[in-house]
């Protein structure tokens, strides 16, 4: 039989059942013990695992290392977590920093960092929060290669919830932006299983976090209801970039394969930067028109326009140079031609560079 | 002009003609590489520091042309070239290192990505070959001229061959091409023949000046030139 101490007396601190008593000064406080639900989503399991690893890690470090963390914690005073300020201890700091390091794919560090690089706010120009898109633009450039974007979200299930800041959870860590764009639509749907609905409030905390340091300090608070299509700030309707990737095409045909496709238009008037790799299969002709169907492209590709460009055989194809064109149809027909024009044709080549997009 | 004084492959200062805007830059010039320099040997890619106030700290992929010192034909190929962290970066290819010093010609545009605005059509301009005939006849060309830069790609039905026309020099006289462009460009002039053990394509260097293109073939460049020849470049005006 388990004998439980009574907590019905003034000087007692401890737990009995789900009740915990603690004594602060002359007063004793009772609180119910919090137990986390046993249900585990993969991301919850990963978070708990990181936390457990970091906690256990602290027990394995040397006394000298421990003193380093205690000293650093004392210098920092209080630690700002996503749920508010907490009193800083060496253990807290060790667990917090190493949890974020692990989140960023870094190993646990036993030594306190010599220099603290706190996370910082982000800037952005356009932000679409719609059922179809959650996209930031012009997020800016990271200050060092170790910086990542840490994004926490909370989609409020009810308009009656007026403050969702303490409920945000980590949605994703972006190693870098895509030319200033941060598109979290897919990560959002993967995490929550459904897109936002129009009018639903989305709370976000976003920061540039130094993944080596792992010290979360400042982050940008963003909370808006989902709109039908317009952006927060300039009011622009969502416009996709004039870009073609492997996801947009059917890359395999009987006689040739498109192994890589990355094509994008930039202004001035229209200049394309791109990199495309083609392999001709047995039975195919190297001076054929390599035609790949696409699934529909942004309207900027509105007519039969093309780039004439250099192409280079692979090392096995002795780096021979040829001239090809990349011709894009996007009105009634939906395909892309890559065609030999002149030079030494090869069965495996890459065409790349920056060229005017002309008729 | 910009001067790039430091690099990671042991070359001296490099001067490039430049057009700089935050969304479009054009660079023209030549870099000479010593493939036995210790810094070159250890480099995984070639990097040249751009001036700190250069307008574009990062670009999408562009091109450069490697022109080797291989006897007669100066075989070479196209290299990846881009701007990253305020450095001009070039792919390192060692296929022609055994021939000693080689040149990298940059006559390319650099752009950024992530644009979501409207586009207008690219304005093109017609050109005429004044001395068209047996020596020069366009197959396909595209010529774009702005106040600051030009872009010109041309392939040919007729182009001089060493076999029929000798070493030259040859001049393609153009009407309509900007007369204030002075640029040296690699011409891809591999004829029908591919030599055994050949790596890369045959290249000769041409010069645009006063609106005309002038070039010649090296002595014994027997299989150079003809209808397979072409060029593709951006150049800064003025």
For residue B159, what is the domain's CATH number? 2.60.40
pLDDT tens sequence across B186-230 = 999 998 889 988 999 999 999 999 999 999 999 999 999 999 999
Place of tokens 């204030």: B180
pLDDT value for A296: 93
pLDDT tens sequence across A76-87 = 776 566 666 767
The mean-pLDDT minimum among A21-25, A92-96, A169-173, A346-350 falls in: A21-25
Evaluate whether residue B120 is within a structural domain: no
Using DSSP, state whether B70 is helix, strand or coil.
Answer: coil
* DSSP string over B101-125: -EEEEEEEEEE-----S---PPP--
In this prediction, residue A30 has a pLDDT band, given cuts at 50, 70 and 90, of: low
In the predicted structure, residue B114 carries a pLDDT above the cut 90: yes
CB contact under 8 A, B113 and A264: yes
Domain segments of chain A: what residues? 1-34, 42-103, 127-232, 243-356
Residues B139 and B107 in one domain: no
pLDDT value for B121: 86
Evaluate whether residue B116 is within a structural domain: no
Please measure the distance between the N-terminal and C-terminal CA atoms of chain A and give it in whole angstroms: 88
Using DSSP, state whether B91 is helix, strand or coil.
Answer: strand
In this prediction, residue A22 has a pLDDT band, given cuts at 50, 70 and 90, of: low
Q: What is the total count of domains within chain B? A: 2
Which of B89, B84, B26, B6 shows the shortest CA–CA distance to B238? B26
Range of the domain at B23: 2-111
CB contact under 8 A, B155 and A341: yes
> Which residues, at least 6 apart from B231, have a Cβ–Cβ distance to it below 8 Å?
B152, B153, B154, B185, B186, B187, B188, B206
In the predicted structure, residue A8 carries a pLDDT above the cut 60: no
Place of tokens 């870099």: B31
Residues B93 and B170 in one domain: no
d(CA A327, CA A343): 18
Bridge-partner residues for A249, per DSSP?
A: A294
Whether B28 has its CB under 8 Å from any CB of chain A: the answer is no
Of B57, B85, B111, which closes a domain? B111
Task: Give percent above pLDDT 70 in chain A.
Answer: 84
Q: What angle do CA B75, B78, B84 make, to 5 degrees?
A: 140
Using DSSP, state whether B173 is helix, strand or coil.
Answer: strand
d(CA A323, CA A98): 52
Paired tokens of A20? 């915990």
Contacts A181 to B, Cβ<8 Å: 114
CB contact under 8 A, B232 and A240: no
C-alpha B184: how far from its chain's center? 8
Residues B90 and B163 in one domain: no
ipTM summary value: 0.97
d(CA B88, CA B46): 8
Contact A317, A346 (CB under 8 A): yes
Contact B18, B1 (CB under 8 A): yes
In this prediction, residue A60 has a pLDDT band, given cuts at 50, 70 and 90, of: confident
Residues B70 and B151 in one domain: no
pLDDT value for A1: 36
Strand order in the sheet with A182-183: A182-183, A134-136, A127-129, A231-232
What average pLDDT score do residues A139-160 get? Answer: 90
Paired tokens of A192? 């929550």
pLDDT value for A80: 62
In the predicted structure, residue A3 carries a pLDDT above the cut 50: no
Q: Let me know if domain A127-232 sits in CATH 2.60.40.
A: yes
Residues B76 and B139 in one domain: no
Contact A16, A30 (CB under 8 A): no
Evaluate whether residue B14 is within a structural domain: yes
Residues B213 and B132 in one domain: yes
pLDDT value for A2: 38
Contacts B122 to A, Cβ<8 Å: 269-271, 356-358
Chain A segment 10-39 residues within 8 A of B by beta carbon are none
pLDDT value for B47: 98
Distance between B138 CA and the closest CA of chain A, angstroms: 12
Q: Tell me if A127-232 shares its fold with A243-356.
A: no
Q: H-type helices in B81-192, by residue range?
A: 162-165
Place of tokens 């790349």: A352
Evaluate whether residue B121 is within a structural domain: no
The mean-pLDDT minimum among A27-36, A313-322, B64-73 falls in: A27-36
pLDDT tens sequence across B169-196 = 999 999 999 999 999 999 999 988 899 8
In the predicted structure, residue A5 carries a pLDDT above the cut 60: no
Element holding B89 (H helix, E strand): strand B87-91
Residues B153 and B87 in one domain: no
- Please, what's the largest Cα pairwise distance for chain A? 94
Query: How high does pLDDT run on average in chain B?
Result: 96
CATH, domain A243-356, list 2.60.90, 1.10.10, 3.40.390, 1.10.1420: 2.60.90
CB contact under 8 A, A267 and B230: no
The mean-pLDDT minimum among A37-51, A61-75, A209-223, A267-281 falls in: A37-51
In the predicted structure, residue A45 carries a pLDDT above the cut 80: no
pLDDT value for A35: 54
The mean-pLDDT minimum among A51-60, A101-110, A304-313 falls in: A51-60
Residue B164 CB-density burial (10 A; 0-12 exposed, 13-18 middle, 19+ buried): exposed
Give the nearest partner residue to A269 out of B60, B120, B194, using CB atoms: B120
Instruction: Find the CATH number of the domain harbouring B30.
Output: 2.60.90
In this prediction, residue A38 has a pLDDT band, given cuts at 50, 70 and 90, of: low
Query: How high does pLDDT run on average in chain A?
Result: 85
pTM above 0.90?
A: no
Chain A segment 224-283 residues within 8 A of B by beta carbon are 236, 239-243, 264-271, 273-275
SS (H, E, C) chain A: CCCCCCCCCCCCCEEECCEEEEEECCEEEEEECCCCCCCCCHHHHHHHHHHHHHHHHHHCCCHHHHHHHHHHHHHHCEEEECCEEEECCHHHHHHHHHHHHHHCCCCCCCCCCCCCCCCECCCCCCEEECCCCEEECCCCCCCCCCEEEEEEEEECCCCCCCCCHHHCEEEEEECCCECCEEECHHHHHHHHCCCCCCCCEEEEEEEEEECCCCCCCCCEEEEEECCCCEEECCCCECCCCCEEEHHHECCECCCEEEEEEEEEEEECCEEEEEEEEEEECCCCCCCCEEEEEECCCCCCCCCCEEEEEEEEECHHHCCCEEEEEEEEEECCCEEEEEEEEEECCCCEEEEEEEEECEC
Of B54, B86, B111, which closes a domain? B111
What average pLDDT score do residues A98-107 get? Answer: 88
In the predicted structure, residue B43 carries a pLDDT above the cut 90: yes
Using DSSP, state whether B78 is helix, strand or coil.
Answer: strand
Contact B85, B52 (CB under 8 A): no
Contact B75, B203 (CB under 8 A): yes
Evaluate whether residue B182 is within a structural domain: yes
d(CA A163, CA B108): 53
Whether B56 has its CB under 8 Å from any CB of chain A: the answer is no
Of B76, B111, B146, which closes a domain? B111
Paired tokens of B56? 């574009």
Paired tokens of A253? 């045909």
Which of A178, A188, A190 shows the shortest CA–CA distance to A149? A178
Give the single-character DSSP code of B161. Answer: B
In this prediction, residue B142 has a pLDDT band, given cuts at 50, 70 and 90, of: very high
Minimum CA–CA partner of A240 in chain B: B116
Contact A308, A262 (CB under 8 A): no
């Amino acid at each position: 039989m388990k004998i439980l101490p009574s907590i019905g007396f003034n000087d007692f601190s401890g737990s009995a059942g789900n009740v915990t008593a603690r004594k602060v000064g002359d007063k004793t406080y009772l609180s119910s013990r919090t137990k986390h639900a046993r249900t585990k989503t993969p991301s919850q399991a990963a978070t708990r695992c990181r936390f457990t690893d970091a906690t256990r890690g602290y027990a394995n470090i040397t006394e000298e290392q421990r003193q380093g963390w205690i000293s650093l914690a004392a210098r920092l005073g209080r630690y700002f977590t996503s749920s508010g300020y907490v009193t800083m201890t060496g253990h807290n700091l060790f667990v917090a920093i190493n949890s974020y390091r692990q989140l960023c794919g870094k190993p646990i560090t036993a030594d306190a960092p010599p220099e603290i690089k706190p996370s910082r706010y982000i800037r952005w120009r356009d932000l679409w929060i719609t059922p179809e898109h959650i996209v930031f633009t012009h997020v800016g450039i990271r200050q060092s290669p170790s910086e990542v974007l840490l994004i926490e979200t909370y989609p409020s299930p009810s308009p009656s919830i007026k403050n969702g800041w303490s409920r945000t959870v980590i949605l994703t860590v972006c190693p870098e932006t895509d030319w200033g764009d941060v598109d979290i639509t897919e990560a959002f749907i993967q995490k929550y299983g459904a897109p936002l609905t129009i009018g639903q409030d989305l709370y976000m905390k976003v920061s540039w976090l130094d993944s080596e340091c792992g010290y979360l300090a400042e982050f940008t608070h963003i909370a808006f209801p989902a709109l039908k299509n317009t952006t927060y700030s300039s009011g622009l309707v969502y416009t996709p970039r004039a870009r073609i990737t492997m996801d947009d095409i059917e890359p395999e045909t009987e006689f040739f394969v498109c192994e890589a496709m990355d094509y994008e238009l930039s202004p001035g008037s229209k200049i394309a930067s791109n990199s495309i790799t083609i392999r001709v299969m047995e039975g195919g002709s190297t001076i054929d028109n390599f035609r790949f169907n696409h699934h529909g492209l942004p309207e900027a590709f509105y007519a039969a326009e093309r780039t004439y460009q250099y192409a280079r055989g692979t090392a096995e194809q002795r780096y021979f140079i040829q001239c090809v064109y990349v011709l894009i149809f996007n009105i009634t027909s939906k395909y892309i031609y890559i065609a030999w024009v002149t030079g030494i044709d090869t069965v495996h080549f890459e065409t790349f560079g920056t060229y005017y997009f002309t008729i | 002009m910009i001067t790039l004084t430091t690099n990671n492959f042991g070359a001296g200062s490099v001067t490039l003609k430049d057009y700089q805007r935050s969304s479009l830059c054009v660079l023209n010039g030549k870099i000479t590489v010593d493939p036995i320099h210790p810094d070159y040997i250890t480099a995984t890619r070639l990097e040249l520091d751009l001036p700190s106030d250069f307008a574009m700290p990062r670009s999408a992929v562009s091109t450069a042309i490697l022109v080797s010192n291989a006897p007669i034909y100066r075989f070479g190929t196209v290299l990846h070239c881009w701007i990253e962290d305020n450095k001009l970066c070039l792919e390192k290819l060692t296929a022609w290192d055994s021939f000693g010093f080689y040149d990298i010609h940059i006559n390319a545009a650099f752009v950024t990505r992530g644009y979501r605005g409207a586009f207008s059509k690219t304005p093109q301009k017609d050109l005429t070959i004044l001395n068209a005939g047996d020596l020069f006849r366009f197959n396909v060309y595209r010529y774009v001229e702005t106040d600051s830069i030009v872009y010109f790609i041309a392939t040919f039905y007729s182009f001089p061959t060493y076999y029929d026309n000798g070493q030259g020099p040859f001049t393609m006289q153009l009407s309509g091409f900007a007369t204030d462009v002075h640029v040296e460009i690699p011409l891809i002039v591999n004829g029908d023949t591919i030599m055994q053990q050949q790596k890369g394509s045959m290249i000769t260097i041409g010069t645009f000046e006063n609106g005309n293109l002038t070039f010649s073939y090296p002595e014994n460049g027997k299989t150079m030139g003809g209808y397979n020849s072409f060029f593709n470049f951006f150049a800064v005006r003025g």
